[in-house]
Amino acid sequence: MKYTPVGVDIAKHVIQIHFINEHTGEVVDKQLRRRIF
């Protein structure tokens, strides 16, 4: 499965990354804590 990154939202405590699945067109959101990123 391939994902194309389309955006990164940098907030104070959580970074949210948005991807599009190339096969299904589904938008996927992942949340990471700032210290992990």
Give 5's strand partners.
Answer: 19
The pLDDT score that the predictor gives to residue 10 is 81
- Amino acid in the structure at residue 30: K
The answer to whether the CB of 30 falls within 8 A of the CB of 19 is: yes
Query: What is the pLDDT, as a whole number, of residue 1?
Result: 65
- Tell me the pLDDT tens digit for each residue of 1-37: 677 878 888 878 888 888 998 889 898 888 888 776 5
Strand partners, 31: 16
pLDDT at 37: 58
C-alpha to C-alpha distance for 14 and 36, rounded to whole angstroms: 10
Distance CA(23)–CA(18), nearest Å, equals 16
